[in-house]
Amino acid sequence: MFFGKLFICLTTFAIIYVISTQNAAELGLVNGPPILTLFICLIIGFGVGDTFMGTVEAAGRHLLIYCLCLFIHSFTFMGTGKPQVDIYAFIVCFFWFL
């Protein structure tokens, strides 16, 4: 998850850097783009990446718990006298743990 946050943060920084460099050239700033603006955008980009990756991680955990409960529930007898296993739930749970 850290690399996803870092990717989003650096991508946002790169986009803002290109835009601010072009605007600095148009405004005639000889020292280049303002450093404080880039630093603030870097912090905001990390916050956005952290929020997005936290949501993705929570969705993954929810899916894992759902599949695990579905797999455990599939060990019912279903009126046949022997346990029936849902093969799709088994496959999802097996590959999720890999």
3-state secondary structure of 88: helix
CA distances from 93 to 63, 69, 73, 74, 89 (A): 10, 10, 13, 12, 6
Q: Tally Cβ neighbours within 10 Å of residue 96.
A: 12
| pTM, entire model | 0.62
For residue 88, the model assigns a pLDDT of 66
Give the confidence band of 15 by pLDDT, cuts at 50, 70, 90.
very high
Instruction: Pull the structure tokens for residue 13.
Output: 């920084």
